[in-house]
Structure 1
Amino acid sequence: MSNFLAIATVTEVLRSLLDEATAGSVTELQIDVTTDRPDAINTDDGRAHVNLFLYQVMPNPAWRNAHVPTRRGDGGLIDRPLAALDLRYLLTFAGDGGRQVAERLMGAALAELEARPQLSRNHIREVIQAQQISKPFLALSDLADQPELVKLTQLPLDLEELSKLWSVFFQVPYCLSVAYEASVVLVEAVSAPQSPLPVRGPVPPEGHDGRNLYVDPLSLPEIERLEPEVAAIGSTLRIHGRNLVGELTEVALEGLTVGALPDDPTSLLIELPLSTPPVPAEALRAGIRTVQVVHPKLLGTPPEPHRGVESNVAPFVLRPSLVAVTLENPAPDVDGTRSGELRIEFDPPVGKTQRVTVMLNELVTASPPAPPPNRPPRAYSFDAPSRNLPLEPDSVTEIVIPFTRVRPDDYLVRVRVDGATSELGLGSLPATPTIVQYVSPAVEIP
């Protein structure tokens, strides 16, 4: 933070900046760049004048409570008090009106302040170095070391505000002027906080310091992407990211911790087989699943795993696999359609709260494969009955789904579990041996 010289340093750096900006704008007159009150400017001396006047100091709203509280209940100092300030300056320009000296000076100054809207650390150090003889007191300034750069912003003063500001100066004629704010200036008190003695713990066991203090760098694991985004049972989920490996590394799938990871994961990649083991069976449910990397911490004496840091949660889709489909109890309807049941075997098992839908699409066997010209291909979907009852098992591998009013034909079968849809198999039919199309799984409804 800055010491008590910060305000004076900002004023001097701004004066130096205005001096550089206006040096070549009025070549026929001597230019005086000062930091006096506006009523101290002698506008009749035949010179050009640029004056910088600090007329108001305001607390910075973003930083004003950054170091609160600074004292304990007994009044003892626990942190150095910090004043976060916004400095408001009035820039005044004066000179021969017939040659528009004030306007030329203002134009040069505003252009420079627009091009350099903040006071760089190097510029501050250069100004302090240049003023070692004329203003040696600035040598102790540490404004260049404060964490925030001082930024310059023009204040939009309307006519009323400008009139009130100039009315402060008794019987001073108005000069062309503009207001700027320098923010933020952090002024820290020199008071030193009182540091108490460290707390002594109980007598530690032999071979241990007894403190159980742990310091870790803030390097949270981060999952950047999953590959593939749509996975199936038996495939491998590749977790890409940063800082994925810690002292202990675990992967949580749907909040359930996976056991030992295969091989040696790196800090950029973890490979997770989607199978049982290592993944708990209850975590492998079809639908939109979530995965997270967890770094437990070994704490205490003796060391035991405790909750540590966790990565962001990344979603992926786990497809259901249709193992087998069987037609049961087909019966004709009066309109020539069929009703019955489809017994479907799933992998992974389906939980009793999951929503299941079976979808039938007409299997086109013509050559070339195309639906009849007089109608679109037939398609049906049927929801499985709800199983969310107390006596139902938590998961099943087979579900019987009734269907009604389906035209006799061959149909491709897909299932959708919580929004995740099973895959269809590619192949060729006897009628079209050279054409690859969806051919399985299929069921015939006679």
Structure 2
Amino acid sequence: MSNALAIAHVSQALALLIESHLQPEIDMAVKVEPRKPPAEPPTDPTISVFLYQVTPNTSQRNNDLPTRAADGTLVRRATAALDLHYVISAYGDETELVGQRLIGSVVRTLHEIPILPKDVIELAGERPYLAGSNLAEAAQRVRFTPTVMDVDETSKLWGMLYQTPYALSVVYQASLVLIDGLETPVPAKPVERPEVRVLPFGAPGAPIPPRAGTRPTETSAGASREEGSRAPASREQTEAKEPAPKRAAEAGAKSAAKTPAKAPGKIAAKTPAKTPARARKSTPRAAKPAQPSARKTDGGRGGSGRNGGKGADGAESTEN
């Protein structure tokens, strides 16, 4: 992280980086200035490094977590993530194409060394106006990336530079520059009573798996123990826990107590002895012995008479 001098420190370090890597293609004295392009184009070989825009970094814009607690104390130092946009212009004798030669050297340098070296940052920090900068201690290094600008964007850029003639230029973006706040966060309080335990079910001191209507509680020496504040069991639950023969005996005793005793005589008088119909139908009838049948002779005509029939004893009756 760095303080508010980081923006100016990057501009000065970029100018030193370009100046220190002009050789061996450029064998002339070149002045590299971190300033706005001059209104009067210089005749001497000159490179201007101009910071024309500062924007928030899109990738780190939402990475800043809340910096204060509910009581207002600072828990995390605020940090601003920025991108720096530079236009680098070259001036010189046009008959010898000095400006184009200088631009080629700038592109080669920033393509070969896209990350700002620490030794260049320390050298730029020796300027008296950058004495309080701590950019060299920042963990995040600044990286330079070329930016493509069409004719419309280029005309708008140079239109903002009032009475400044256009010069051959390249545009670069420097990211990421982090600027910290001044306040020091309050250190977090130590943990006073840690109570983190991981135990499997069934181990001493582990919670018991809850049953229906209960909540799990801790046990000691493997013994289960439920909360004393739980409501007492209802009568239905108590009866459900008793053995089945005992419940049946109690139910029979209760029904006998509710039924009033009646006199045996009355029961016999009101309830005649009857044989169930099913029992009567199922009782076999005793077979009667077979008897010889008597024939009636009526004028030599055999068979039974008009009033012939069977009697109660099964014998045939005859008519004289």
Question: Aligning the two structures, in what range does the TM-score lie when normalised by the shorter sequence?
Answer: 0.5 to 0.7
Contact 1:26 1:101 in 2 (8 A): no
3-state secondary structure, aligned to 1:172: coil
1:163 and 2:155 matched: yes
Distance 1:181 1:303 in 2: 63
Greater relative CO (CA pairs within 8 A, separation 6+): 2
Amino acid at match of 1:86: D
Contact 1:87 1:181 in 2 (8 A): yes
- 1:33 CA drift (Å): 0.4
- 1:24 CA drift (Å): 4.4
1:178 and 2:170 matched: yes
Unaligned runs of 5+ in 2: 208-320
Counterpart residue number, 1:39: 38
- 1:121 CA drift (Å): 2.8
- 1:110 CA drift (Å): 0.3
Q: Deviations over 1:57-94 (max 9, x none)?
A: 11111112222211234544221110000100010111
3-state secondary structure, aligned to 2:88: strand
Distance 1:165 1:75 in 2: 43
1:113 and 2:96 matched: no
Evaluate the alpha carbon distance shift between residue 194 and residue 49 of structure 1 in structure 2; reply closer, same or farther with a 3 A threshold: same
> In the TM superposition, what are the counterparts of 1:73-152 in structure 2 within 5 Å?
73-128=70-125, 132=126, 135-152=127-144
1:19 and 2:19 matched: yes
1:65 and 2:57 matched: no
Evaluate the alpha carbon distance shift between residue 69 and residue 17 of structure 1 in structure 2; reply closer, same or farther with a 3 A threshold: same
TM-score by length of 1: 0.42
Counterpart residue number, 1:211: 194
- Farther off after superposition, 31-40 or 183-192: 31-40
- Bigger fraction of residues in strand: 1
Evaluate the alpha carbon distance shift between residue 165 and residue 75 of structure 1 in structure 2; reply closer, same or farther with a 3 A threshold: farther
- 1:142 CA drift (Å): 2.1
Contact 2:91 2:99 in 1 (8 A): yes
Unaligned runs of 5+ in 1: 201-209, 214-295, 307-446
TM-score by length of 2: 0.58
> In the TM superposition, what are the counterparts of 1:166-315 in structure 2 within 5 Å?
166-195=158-187, 197-198=189-190, 200=192, 210-212=193-195
Amino acid at match of 1:33: V
Distance 1:161 1:47 in 2: 28
Amino acid at match of 1:192: T
Distance 1:16 1:167 in 2: 28
Amino acid at match of 1:5: L
Counterpart residue number, 1:3: 3
Distance 2:188 2:173 in 1: 41
Distance 2:169 2:94 in 1: 14
Distance 1:148 1:78 in 2: 22
Evaluate the alpha carbon distance shift between residue 69 and residue 178 of structure 1 in structure 2; reply closer, same or farther with a 3 A threshold: same
Distance 2:184 2:149 in 1: 41
Stretches (4+) displaced over 4 A: 195-200, 296-299, 302-306
**RMSD, aligned α-carbons:** 2.8
Distance 1:17 1:303 in 2: 68
Distance 1:17 1:92 in 2: 15
Amino acid at match of 2:4: F
Q: Give the total of aligned pairs.
A: 205
Amino acid at match of 1:89: Y
Evaluate the alpha carbon distance shift between residue 144 and residue 297 of structure 1 in structure 2; reply closer, same or farther with a 3 A threshold: farther
The share of aligned pairs that are identical, in percent, is 37
Structure with higher Rg: it is: 2
Evaluate the alpha carbon distance shift between residue 211 and residue 175 of structure 1 in structure 2; reply closer, same or farther with a 3 A threshold: same
Contact 2:115 2:144 in 1 (8 A): yes
Evaluate the alpha carbon distance shift between residue 94 and residue 305 of structure 1 in structure 2; reply closer, same or farther with a 3 A threshold: farther
Distance 2:172 2:204 in 1: 59
